[in-house]
Structure formats: structure tokens, C-alpha cells
Chains A and B, each alone.
Chain A
Amino acid sequence: MSLYKSCLFLLFSLIDINVFASGDVNFTPSEATNQMNPALSSSAAGVVNSAVFKPFADSVFSLNLLSSFPEDLEISDYCVELLNIFGQRYVDYVKCLVPAARPVKVCQNCFSTYGILVDTYQNISSDQMGPGNVSCRDSLLRSDRLMLVYQLYSNLEDLWEKSNCDHCITATFQSLTNTTLYFMTVLNQTITCFDQYKERNHTELCKNCKNTYRGLNELYGRMEKNHTLCIDIEDAMNMTRKLWSKNFNCSFPREETVAVIAVSSFMLFLPIIFYLSSFLHSEQKKRKLIHPKRAKSYNSLMNIQDKLS
């Protein structure tokens, strides 16, 4: 049994180290080594053991067990407070995200809630000691294998990074950038134009909205080059393009088939002429044969004949 325990302990401390080594960019190496300090990690592993292997059903019992931990392992009130705030902000942000999923408006609608969430998380993860000289970073973020707070936050962070929202939002989460706002205006103009002609003939739409649409396209191209695109803009542009090309059928038609065929068949005709003319007019290359000197075979007259000829 003790062997089993120590194996488990080893396993968990290994997992811990692995997770910290790979998972979190915020932690410096010195902190990581600090984590490996034997006394601390052994107690951490103990917590993990008890917390993880408890069945969910008797949560009351587990609460009892937790309350019986010695003083220094208890989580401070300040940290609990922080945790609650984090939870609240988290819920706010997610609530904002979900309705903005389609059509994508995650950047423009939710950047402020995300900013607040980031603040809260920074409070938790900062080095600064709170009241009563406690830092909640260790106790909240990495005292167990699951690291729930960290995982939750990093999921959203990934989402934010994938959506490239940083490109559309000012650095302090204050507002949308000017280029984004400008793009939105141009986009609105285009959509208005579409709406205006939508009911009537599509060719008219193609003709009349061409300029605004092209302006939008060029703006988009410029932003693409400057890397100032975020998912909102990309999605809006995509939808507009789809409207333009698929719904209204304003793509370029294939009109000059005849000219292309004519030019290419002319080109394809050239080699035929070339090969025919070189076959007919070029002098065929002949090779002069040479007869090497060979020994007389027993009953052979050929060498004599060769010499004669």
C-alpha cells in the first residue's frame, strides 16, 4: 500500500512538473523550481489525492474533510473573494459571446467584458501580496492537477487569440480601432446599397453597387496586408462576398472564350508545323559506320574481304 502511495505521489508530482513546464507561459523557471520544493509538493499531492479520489456523491463528507485541514493549507478569504469575482466576470463574458457567435460579432460586442475578465485574472495571477500577506496565485491556480481556473481562463484566451480580436481593439480594451470603425461604415454603405436594389434586377445591383463594393474590397485587401483583420471583419467580408458572387451573381462572366480558343489553337498549331517542316526539310542525320579490326576467326574470310572493300 505504501508503495502504491509513493508511486502515486511520484506520478502526480511528475504531472505537476510537466504541466507547469509546458502549460503556462507566465511562470518563470525559478517559480517552477520553487514548485518542486519537496515539502510543498508533497502536501500538494496529498491534497490532490484526497480531492481527486473522492466520489462526487458524498460532497458533504468531503467538505468536512476540507474544513479539517490545518490552518496553513486553508484558502484565504481574500482569495475566495477573488475567485467569486472571477466567476462572475467569466459568466458575463461567456453570456456575451454566445449570442455573438453567428454572425460573428465577438470582438465588437464583447471586448469590454473580456477586458474586465483579463483584469481579474491578472489580479489572481499577480505576484503582489493581498491583504494579510497572501498571494492567491499558488493556491488558486496551481495547487492541483486540474488547475480549473487556469484552464478556464486559457480556453477563453485561446479563443480571443484565434479570433484575432486584438487587431481590431485598442490596446487597453477601450474601443474599436479607427480602421475597424471605418470598415464598418463602408460595409454598412455597401449593405445599404444591396438592400436598395435587392428587390429589383440583379444586373442593376451589380452595376450600381460595384463602386462601393470594390471600395470595400480594396479596403479589406489593405487591412489584410497590414494585419489589422479580426474575425468580425473577416466574417462580414465573407458574407458580403458571398452575397455579391453567389446571391446576386455579380462575378465576372466567361466572355472571351472564342478569343482564348483562337489564340491557344494557334499556339498549339505551331509545333505541328515545326515538326512537320523539320521532318520534311531537315536533312536526316546519318552516322558513318566504322569497322573495327577483328581477329581472323578460324574459318572466316571476312577480314580479308573487309580489307579489300
Chain B
Amino acid sequence: MANITKKVSWSSRADESAAAGESTPLLNGSEQPQHSRQDSLRGRPKEIPHNEKLLSLKYESLDYDNIENQLFLEEERRMSYMGFRCLEISRWVVCGLIGILTGLIACFIDIVVEQLAGIKYQLIKENIEKFTETGGLSISLILWAVLNFTFVMVGAIIVAFFEPIAAGSGIPQIKCYLNGVKIPRVVRLKTLVIKVCGVICSVVGGLAVGKEGPMIHSGAVVAAGVSQGRSTSLKRDFKIFEYFRRDTEKRDFVSAGAAAGVSAAFGAPVGGVLFSLEEGASFWNQMLTWRIFFASMISTFTLNFVLSIYHSHAGDLSNPGLINFGRFEGDSVTYNLYEIPLFIAMGAIGGFLGALFNVLNYWLTIFRIRYVHRPCLQVMEAMLVAAVTATVSFTMIYFSNDCQPLGPESTEEYPLQLFCADGEYNSMATAFFNTPERSVRSLFHNQPGTYNPLTLGLFTLTYFFLACWTYGLAVSAGVFIPSLLIGAAWGRLFGILLASTSSGGAQHSNAIWADPGKYALIGAAAQLGGIVRMTLSLTVIMVEATGNVTYGLPIMLVLMTAKIVGDYFEEGLYDIHIKLQSVPFLHWEAPATSHWLTAREVMSSPVTCLNRIEKVGTIVDILSNTSTNHNGFPVVVQVLESDEPAKLCGLILRSQLIVLLKHKVFVELARSRLTRRKLQLKDFRDAYPRFPPIQSIHVSQDERECMMDLTEFMNPTPYTVPQETSLPRVFKLFRALGLRHLVVADDENRVVGLVTRKDLARYHLGKHGLEELQLAQT
């Protein structure tokens, strides 16, 4: 029973609806009796532990909608035909630069990781060899743990203390950004630097992580930086690309950057484009798609080219992607019709395991947000995970009896012998004593019989929990590679078992099932699909990364099954993390069964409006009011002298008002100083994207009495809806136009309310029907 109370108190506007007893917030009639209970809860403090049903105030919308004020029209009139052509060309140039820089960053990460990991593993290998003979292997264990520990400590410190937003894979954040949410500090240079260093530290530190997810974030930051032609962090302005200094253009470039990141990470240019499409598709056009594809291609090409020089066969461009699945060729690619059901079954297993992973990670993340929120604790946790990862790996290797001969084709970089016979190596060590990427590749491509089932089973089990525990730490690291690795391990196991069960039967069928590498690939796809629940883009990424279109159908089927099965239990990992960060994320569609909600219930009201010619003091007071952190203000004209709400004539943003105040565009001053330069759109762009807070703008007592004319600067044609508009309709407008504010007006064009992203995002379809999220300060 206590459980129910909790649920009610968490969900949906409990306090507000309680007294009224109306049916607004909760749809189901069955919940009606519980409302009376809430009266007793009214007295409780308005502080609750963090949970997933909150919306944070710190996230704001991007201004995707173009503000067509007079300044804009003027600028457009001044711009020549050539000017527009130049803009178009510079868009292409920017995309090319994004591709090149993203590719270079990927190379940098790859090379540094390879070098550092090489040194680390060589050191440990020598140590282990020494102590296998003389005794004292526990010292090797401690050495391994300490090395991991140190690297991860560096990585965690820079993330936790300097830029917490760089933690994790960054894909949820970029997803939000493309959805139209401004995540503070997500596309800054500092974030990029810390992300790159953090990824290197965490991969070299031997955590169960990959470097692919962070590449997407890095690409996005590069795009956001390059397209602005300046760096606010470095205080350098190159005076180029000034036209792109607004959210609309920037976001287009960020989607190109994300695509370039995917393409560099997996060598999958088309997959990158589709990733951007899948995540940010509400604002899309063909030219943009084409440009994004260009950026992706350039990024893969750059990566290829630089890596070919690094591997000292310059000009060989067949080195795609950070993770290279290797080539699936010859017999291993063939699959038969009767294998399709098996693949689908594997998809179902992947979906189930993925959901399990997500549920465990969900509880862990809630615990972390509630209890492990201080930076020093986060660093300690990351260090502990690193040490435990090393310990578990070592123990597994130590007790493994699976010895395999060193074959001529074996590509083990650091074969560990330990207690195996001479000329043989420990098979468990190929999985654990290696960077995760290499382990994935060896699971895909090593000959049948390289791993015995027990090794694979134990490996899957431990790695599953390690990866689950690692994701969400304060280190920058991705979940792609660990998922692939888990999946590849159990997929290979599946393949081996299949071959052994069928070996009693006909000899020829055994030949087809003999290659466990194929099942490893399918398992990897299933597991990854089960965890992240991406569909189209993931299929294409996997197909491109394997370089084999033949696998298109099985991979698609597997991902579909994994998604269906997984969604039955739990959402995708990225969605969970978006929810837990209380981001007002707008999904594709309004929640079903929400047609009965109208704009009247959804909107915020009453609205703080400004007059067209407003006193400076009033504006300053409104902006400085900390309790109402509004961002858009409808501009109204008073009808005669009545008390009625005035008629709507425009919309002005906080950022615009601040720029106006900074430049002191007051009516009185304009009269006295006729030579004064007219404010241009450029002045707004120069302040973008970090508009100064209102506190930093000094307005004297005299100036407070001045008046400000907003006519020139406001958006004269804001979108409005009548009060009776249903929620899905409003939702569609928001999603399709990328709106930030939607004014609700009555039949006489008077402002009744204002709908913002948070008003819409708070409705979601829970297990008990329509639920509402609460706004909270975080």
C-alpha cells in the first residue's frame, strides 16, 4: 500500500489536482479514489528524491524558429544574390571542415589509445611472465589494478571536476540537442577536450567501454565550433561564418557533426547520415541530407588517409572506422533460409538481455544520482570499478584452463601463457587481456575451436555485469563496444553449441554451422539492438561496419526482434538516461489518448506580457525575477484604457531584451543622439550563444525611467493557437516547426497563455495511463 502512495505522490501534479478532485491529470477513473488521500499529503515539504518523473528547469529550448523582425528583413534586402550563393558555398566548406576535423580527432584517439594500451599490456605481460616462473602473481594482479586505477582516476577527475557533461557516451545529450533542447555546455570546446582525454583514459584504463559513442559527441562539438567561426572559450573570433551564429544553422551543422562522428567511429557514412536522420528528423531537407553525407564521407576519408599513413602504407584507403569488424568473406558469409528462425531467436535473446541490462543500469543510475553525486565520490567510484575490472579479469584468466595452440593465423597481440603448455596461450586472456575492440574482432574471426564454451559463458556473464556497472560512471565512454562484445561472446557460444548438437546428424549441415563467427556477429547485433534500441541507423551501421550487404536481412530481422522484445520490458538505454536527466524531450508523437487535453489545460497562465513601448525598469524587473525564469514574452498593445488583457502583436525573447538593454536602445537616447548607430542583427549574433545574465547589465536609476520600443526587434508574427486546440495538434506544431513558444490566444487575439516545451513534455504515457511529470529545480 505504501507503494501506491509513493506512486501517487510522485506522479503528476499531485498537489494541484488534489483539492479540486478533477480528472485532469490522471486519466483513469480507477485512480479517482486515491485523490482524496492526497489531501493529507499536502503538508509535506516540496522536496522529493530524484526520480525519472521530473522535468528539470535548467534545460531550455533552442530557438529554431526564425525571428522575422524588421532587422532580419532589412538584412535580407541588403544581401545580394551573390551573398546567398556564398552562404551556400560556405555551408559546404563548413561541412568539409567538420568532416576533416572529426576524422582527425578519431585518428588521434585511436593512435593514442593503441600506443598507451600497447605499453600497458606489454608491461603487465612481462610482469606476469616473470612472476609465473618465480611466483608472486598477486603482485602482477596489483600492478594491473594500479595501472587501470591510475588511468581511470585521471579520466574521472577531469570529467567529474571540470566538465561533468562530458561523462558517458554523449549520445543522449546529442539526441536531446537534435531534438531541440539546449543542454548547457554540451557543445563547448572545453567539453571536447575533456571528452577526448577522458575517452583515452577510460579505454586505456581497461574499463568495459568503447571509444565510439564519444566520437559522436566529439563530432557534434566540432561542428558547433567550426560553424561559428570563433571560440568563446579561447576568446578568438575569426570573423567568418557570422551568418551561422544562430540556433537554426548551428543545429543543422551539429547534425552533420554527429553523422561525421558515427561515420568516423564505424566507417559507416550512410549509417551516420541515417543516425542524424533518426535522431533529428523533424527538421530536415534534401540539401541538408546531401551536405551531411558529404561531411560523413570526408570524415571517413580523413580517418582512412591518416591511419594509412600511420600504418605506413600511405594511400591505402581500406582502413575504415575506429572499430573495424574485419572482413567477412568466403564460407563464413553464407547463410541459409533455415537459419533465419535461429537468427530471430537470437534477436529475442538479445532483446531480453538488453532489457535486463537497462533495468539494472536504471536502478544503478538512480542510486548514483541520489547518493553518489559529489565529484570526489564519483572519482572514487570510477577508480573502484577500474580496480575491480582488473581483478575480475585477472582472476578469470588465472583460473581458466582453456589453453589454445598459437596458430600461424592467430592475431593475438599479447598472448599470455601463464600455466598453459609452452606454445599455447590462455584463451580467456584473448578476451580479457586486450582492448575491447580487439576482443570483438577475435570473437568474430578466430577459427572455430579457439574458444571453449565454458570460457565464453563465463566471459559473457562477467562482462555483462561489468559493462552494466561501468555505464553511467563519471568517465567519458561509450556502450557500443561492450554491448557488441557481450553479444559476440554469447553469439559465438550459441554457434558452438549449435554445431555440437547438430554434429551427430548429417555431416553437411554441420559444415554450414561450423563457423561460429557468423553467430557472433548476429549475437552482437542482437545485444546492441537490445540495449540501445536504434533501428534503421544501427542496421546500416552494422552492415557497413562488416562491409557485407549479404548480412543486411538477418541483421535487420535481429534488430527488429530485439527491439520488440526489449520494448516489452523496458525502454532503450539512451531514453532511460534522458529521462533520468529530467530533460524535456519531445518524442515523435504526442502520447496516445491525449486528444481530450486542450491547449487551455496545457498552457502556462497567466503570461507575463510586455507592452510594445515598455518602461526599462519594468523589463529589468521582469528579467531579474529569479522565480520566473521566462524566456519569451508576448508583446501586446493596450486596447484603449481598459483592464482587459491587451491584444497580441509580437513575441520577444529574453536574449533579445538583454542585447537591447546592453546597447541601451532607449527611445529617449535615440532622440538625443541622432548619429547613433542603428542596432543590427549582427549585434545579436555577436552576443550569441552566451548572452550575459541580466545581473551583469547595469541600468542606472535614470535609465529605468526610459522607454524601450520593441517594434523593430520583436517577432511580429508569432504562431498562435486557439484555446480549444488539442494536445496532439499543439505537439505536432512544436515538433514540425521546432517552436519554442506558442501563444494561446482567444478569439479577440488576446493572450491567454503560453505553451512551451516543458508544458508538452510533461505528459507521457505510463503504465497507468497518461501521467504528468513535475517540474523541479536540479
Q: List residues of A whose CB falls within 8 A of some B CB.
A: 217, 237-238, 241-242, 244-246, 251-257, 259-264, 267-268, 270-271, 274-275, 278-279, 282, 284-295, 297, 299-303, 305-306, 309
Closest CB-CB distance, B125 to chain A, in whole Å?
Answer: 13
- Judge whether B317 is part of the interface by a CB distance below 8 angstroms: no
Would B421 and A246 count as touching, CB distance under 8 A?
Answer: yes
Q: In the complex the two chains form, what is the Cα distance from A267 to B394 in whole Å?
A: 12
Return the contact of B421 from the options A245, A259, A268, A291 (Cβ within 8 A). Answer: A245
Residue of A nearest to B18 (CB): A302
Q: Given that A293-B606, A297-B20 are contacting pairs, would A251 and B49 also be in contact in the complex, using a CB cutoff of 8 Å?
A: no
Nearest chain A CB to B364 CB, angstrom units: 10
A251 touches B422 (CB 8 A): yes
- Known contacts A260-B394, A263-B141, A263-B391; 5 additional CB pairs below 8 A are A241-B421, A278-B371, A282-B373, A285-B49, A289-B774
Q: How far is A255 from B135 in the complex, measured between Cα atoms in Å?
A: 8
Which residues in chain B, 275-312, are within 8 Å of chain A measured between CB atoms? none
The answer to whether B601 has its CB under 8 Å from any CB of chain A is: yes
* Cβ-neighbour of B49 out of A245, A275, A284, A302 (below 8 A): A284
Q: How far is the CA of A284 from the CA of B371 in the complex (A)?
A: 5
Rounded to whole angstroms, the CA-CA distance of A256 and B139 in the bound complex is: 11
Set of chain A residues within 8 Å of B621, measured between Cβ atoms: none
Return chain B residues, CB-CB under 8 Å to A268.
Answer: 388, 391-392
CB of B643 closer than 8 Å to a CB of A: no
Asked if B377 is at the interface of the complex by the 8 Å CB criterion, the answer is yes
In the complex, the answer to whether A299 meets B775 with C-beta atoms within 8 Å is no
Cα of A261 to Cα of B562 in the assembled complex, Å: 38
In the complex, chain B residues 140-163 whose Cβ is within 8 Å of any chain A Cβ: 141-142, 145
**How far, in angstroms, from A52 to B398 measured CA to CA in the complex?**
63
Using Cβ atoms and an 8 Å threshold, which residues of chain B touch A255? 135
**Cα–Cα distance between A290 and B605 once the two chains are bound (Å):** 15
Task: Flag if A252 contacts B49 (CB, 8 Å).
Answer: no
Contact of B752 with A295 in the complex, beta carbons under 8 Å = yes
**How distant is the Cα of A263 from the Cα of B395 in the complex, in angstroms?**
10
Distance between B135 CB and nearest chain A CB, rounded to angstroms? 6
CB neighbours (8 Å) of B381 from chain A are 271, 274
Shortest CB-to-CB span from B475 to chain A, Å, is 15
Question: In the complex, what's the smallest C-beta–C-beta distance from A219 to chain B, in angstroms?
Answer: 14
Check A289–B385 contact: CB distance below 8 A. no
In whole angstroms, what is the CA distance A288 to B370 when docked? 13
> A255-B135, A256-B138, A264-B391 in contact; A288/B421 too (CB < 8 A)?
no
Shortest Cβ distance from residue A206 to the other chain B in the assembled complex, whole angstroms:
12
Q: Mark B589-607, 1 if CB is under 8 A from A, else 0.
A: 0000000000011011110
Count of A-B contacts judged by CB separation below 8 Å: 162
B419 near A253 with CB under 8 A, answer yes
Complex contact A290–B777 (CB within 8 A): yes
How far is B133's CA from A253's CA once the two chains are assembled, in angstroms?
9
Do B20 and A299 have beta carbons less than 8 Å apart? yes
**A245-B422, A263-B141 given as contacts; is B605 within 8 A of A294 (CB)?**
yes
Task: Give the nearest-CB partner of B408 in chain A.
Answer: A234
Instruction: Tell whether, in the assembled complex, residue B775 and residue A292 are in contact, meaning their CB atoms are under 8 Å apart.
Output: yes
With A242-B421, A267-B388 already in contact, the answer to whether A282 and B374 are too (CB < 8 A) is yes
Bound Cα distance from A256 to B134, whole angstroms: 11
Contact B19 A287 (CB under 8 A): no
In the bound complex, CA of A150 to CA of B46 (Å): 90
Once the chains are docked, how many angstroms separate the CA of A288 from the CA of B54? 10
Tell whether B65 is near chain A: CB-to-CB under 8 Å: no
Interface centre among A261, A267, A297 (most CB of B within 10 A): A267
Residues of B close to A262: CB separation below 8 A: 138
Bound-state CA distance A245–B133 (Å) is 14
Give the distance in Å from the alpha carbon of A301 to the alpha carbon of B384 in the complex.
Answer: 53
Contacts of A267 in B (CB 8 A): 145, 387-388, 391
7 sample A-B contacts, Cβ–Cβ < 8 Å, listed by A number: A241-B423, A256-B138, A268-B388, A268-B392, A271-B381, A289-B46, A306-B16
**A238 & B138 in contact (Cβ 8 Å cutoff):** no
Contact of A284 among B46, B132, B370, B374 (CB under 8 A): B370
Asked if residues A264 and B370 are in contact (CB atoms below 8 Å), the reply is no
Asked if B753 is an interface residue, CB under 8 A from chain A, the answer is yes
A237-B423 contact given A256-B138, A267-B388, A294-B605, CB 8 Å threshold = yes
Q: How far is the CB of B123 from chain A (nearest CB, A)?
A: 18
User: With A282-B374, A289-B47, A297-B22 in contact, is A256–B135 under 8 Å at CB?
Assistant: yes
The answer to whether B601 touches A287, judged by C-beta atoms less than 8 angstroms apart, is: no
| Chain A residues with CB under 8 A of B778 | 287
Q: How distant is the Cα of A284 from the Cα of B372 in the complex, in angstroms?
A: 9
Minimal beta-carbon separation of B398 from chain A (angstroms) = 6
**A287, B53: Cα distance in complex, Å:** 11
CB atoms of A270 and B373 under 8 A apart: no
The answer, among B16, B141, B424, B752, for a CB contact under 8 Å with A291, is B16
Known: A270-B388, A282-B371, A287-B777. A293 touches B604 (CB 8 A): yes
For B189, what are the chain A residues with a Cβ–Cβ distance below 8 Å? none
A207 vs chain B, min Cβ distance (A)? 13
Closest 4 CB pairs between A and B? A245-B421, A295-B605, A241-B422, A286-B47
- Shortest Cβ distance from B603 into A: residue: A295
B362-400 interface with A by 8 A CB criterion: 367, 369-374, 377, 380-381, 384-385, 387-388, 391-392, 394-395, 398
B136 at interface by CB-CB < 8 Å: yes
A251 to B377, CA, bound (A): 44
Contact with A along B95-135 (1 / 0, CB 8 A): 00000000000000000000000000000000000001101
Are A305 and B49 neighbours in the complex by a CB distance under 8 Å? no
- The winner among B46, B601, B759 for most chain A CB atoms within 10 A is B46
What residue in chain B is nearest A271 (Cβ atoms)? B384
Docked pose: A271 CA to B372 CA in angstroms: 12
Tell me the minimal C-beta distance from B433 to chain A in angstroms: 15
CB pair A286–B141 under 8 Å, yes or no, is no
**Residues of chain B lying within 8 A (CB to CB) of residue A290:** 57, 774-777
By CB atoms of chain A within 10 A, which of B16, B142, B385 has the most? Answer: B16
Q: How far is the CA of A262 from the CA of B391 in the complex (A)?
A: 11
From B377, B606, B774, A278 is in contact (CB under 8 Å) with: B377
With a cutoff of 8 Å between Cβ atoms, the chain B residues found around residue A294 in the complex are 16, 601, 603-605
Whether A252 contacts B419 in the complex (CB less than 8 A), given A268-B391, A287-B777, A302-B20, comes out as yes
